[in-house]
Amino acid sequence: MAVAEDKTERLPGWNRPRQVEPDGEGELLEVAMGPHHPSTHGVFRMDVALDGERVIRLKPVFGYLHRNHEKIAEGAGYLASMPFTDRLDYMCPLTNNWAYALAVEKLTGQEVPERAEYLRVILGELTRVVNHSSAIGFLIQEMGASGTPLMYAFKQREKILDLFEALTGARMMVNYMRFGGCRVDATPAWLAGVRKVLDGLPQFADEFENLLRGNEILMARTQGVGILRPELAVNAGVTGPMLRASGVNYDIRKVDGYGIYNRFKFRVPLGEHFDVYDRFMIRMLEMRESFGIIDQALKDIPGGPVMDPKAKIRGFRPKPGEAYGRIEAPKGELGFYLISDGSPNPYRYRIRPPSLINLTILEDMCMGVNVADVVLIFGSVDIVLGEVDR
C-alpha cells in the first residue's frame, strides 16, 4: 500500500513543523506503522519516512474506526446519542456521558440536583484514576515489560469497574448520566464500597510510582524525549495532562469550575521539562489528586434526588439555539457543540475530541528522533481511536 505522499506546503512560521534534512545520500525508507500494530492504541497508522533510524517525516492516518456518530445523532435524537457517547473514549465512558449531559444542560438551562453532582464528581474522578493508571501501564508495556506492570494497573481498574457495574449495571458502557442528573441513585452500601476501594488506592499509587521512578530503563528512554514547548502546545490546541506537562496551568476543572468542582481542594501538577517522562509523572500526580477529590466528595455527599424532577425524558425538545459545553476529561478537553432547531433531534452535534487535536503536534515532536522513540512519544499523547475517529 502506497505511503501517503507529502503534499504539505512547508510554510514558514513558528508554529509549523520544523524541517529535518536527511544526512545520508540514500533513499528514505518509508514505513507504515499500523493500523495493525501492538503499540498504536487502536487502529491507527503513521506513515513514517526514515533516514536510517531518524524520522524525517511522519503523517498520521486515521479514520479506520469512523462510525459516523455525528450524523447518527442527527437522526437518532438527544437521549439516544447518550449510549453512543460511551463508545467515544471507550476507556472513560462516564466522562463522555458527563460532557454531553453538560452541553445539553447548558443549552436548556436545566439544573442538576446536589447529590447527582457529587455522584458525577466521584465517578468522574474514579474514571480519571482508571485512565491514568492504564496509560502508564501501557507505556511500560510498550517499552518491553510485556504485561506485568499493566496488570498492576488493571487490578485496580477491575475493582473500580466492579463499582461501576454495581451502580450502573455495566462495567464499561454505562449510559449513566442524563440531562439533569444521573440515571440511578447510589446506595449507602455502594458508597461504602467506594470508600473501601479508595483506601487501597494510595498504596497502589506508591507501588506504581516506584515502577516509574526507580526504573533506569524507563528514565533513560523517556527523559529528554519528545519535548513540546508551551507556546506551541497552546497554539496547537493541546489540552489535558499533555498541556500541563508542558508547564501551562490550564485545568478546565479550575478554569470553568463546571459542576461543583469549586468546592473541592486539589492541586494542578505542572511539568518542568516538557518531555515524555513529565507527561507520565503528571498523570501519576493527577491520580493522587483524584484520590483527594473522591475522599472529599464521599465525606460531603448529601441526600436527595439524583434527577431534576422537571426534566422531560420523552418528548425532549430543547428550544432553538446553540451551546458549547466542555469538561476536563482524562485525555483533555472534551467538548460538545450542539445546535438545536427546536426539534427532537439535534441540528448539528459536534464532538471536540481531545485525542484528535492532541495529535496535531505529533509530527513536530517526532521530527529527527529515532523510530523507537516514536512509539513512546505517541504513547505519551494517550489517545483512544474511538474518540479520534468517532
User: Where does this chain bind other proteins (CB under 8 A)?
Assistant: 4, 7-11, 13, 15-16, 62-63, 66, 68, 70-71, 106-109, 232, 234-238, 248, 250, 255, 318-326, 333, 335, 337, 339-340, 347-348, 350, 352, 356-357, 359-361, 389
Nearer to other proteins, 157 or 352 (CB): 352
Minimum distance of other proteins from residue 159's CB (angstroms): 35
Answer yes or no: are the C-beta atoms of 129 and 114 closer than 8 Å.
no
Closer CB to other proteins, 335 or 379, in the complex: 335
Residue 254 backbone dihedrals phi, psi, to 5 degrees: -90, -35
Q: Which is nearer to other proteins, 13 or 214 (CB)?
A: 13
Least separation in angstroms between CB 279 and other proteins: 18
Distances (CA, A) of 149 to 125, 171, 370: 22, 22, 25
Q: Which one, 8 or 148, has the nearer CB to other proteins?
A: 8
Query: What is the SS3 assignment for the chain?
Result: CCCCCCCCCCCCCCCCCCCCCCCCCCCCEEEEECCCCCCCCCCCEEEEEEECCEEEEEEEECCCCCCCHHHHHHHHCCHHHHHHHHCCCCCCHHHHHHHHHHHHHHHHCCCCCHHHHHHHHHHHHHHHHHHHHHHHHHHHHHCCCCCHHHHHHHHHHHHHHHHHHHHHCCCCCCCCEECCEECCCCCHHHHHHHHHHHHHHHHHHHHHHHHHHCCHHHHHHHCCCCCCCHHHHHHCCCCCHHHHHCCCCCCHHHHCCCCCHHHCCCCCCCCCCCCHHHHHHHHHHHHHHHHHHHHHHHHHCCCCCCECCCCCCCCCCCCCEEEEEEEEECCEEEEEEEEECCCCCCCEEEEECHHHHHHHHHHHHHCCCEHHHHHHHHHHHCCCHHHHHC
CB nearer to other proteins: pick between 226 and 325: 325
Query: In terms of CB distance, is 186 or 385 closer to other proteins?
Result: 385
Instruction: Report, in Å, the least distance between residue 378 CB and other proteins.
Output: 15
Shortest CB 97 distance to other proteins, Å? 19
CA–CA gap between residue 150 and residue 134 (Å, rounded)? 7
CB of 178 to other proteins, least distance (A): 18
Rank residues 320 and 368 by Cβ distance to other proteins and give the closer one. 320
Cα–Cα distances in Å, from 150 out to 62, 154, 212, 324?
Answer: 26, 6, 12, 36
Closer to other proteins by Cβ: residue 47 or 295? 47
134 CB contacts (<8 Å, ≥6 apart)?
Answer: 91, 150, 153, 154, 157
- CB 383 → other proteins: shortest distance, Å? 12
The amino acid at residue 236 is: A
Of 155 and 319, the one with the shorter C-beta distance to other proteins is 319
Query: In the complex with other proteins, which residue's Cβ is closer, 68 or 187?
Result: 68
Nearest approach in angstroms of CB 30 to other proteins is 16
Q: How far is the CB of 245 from other proteins (least distance, A)?
A: 15
Q: How far is the CB of 138 from other proteins (least distance, A)?
A: 23
Tell the smallest beta-carbon distance from residue 111 to other proteins (Å): 11
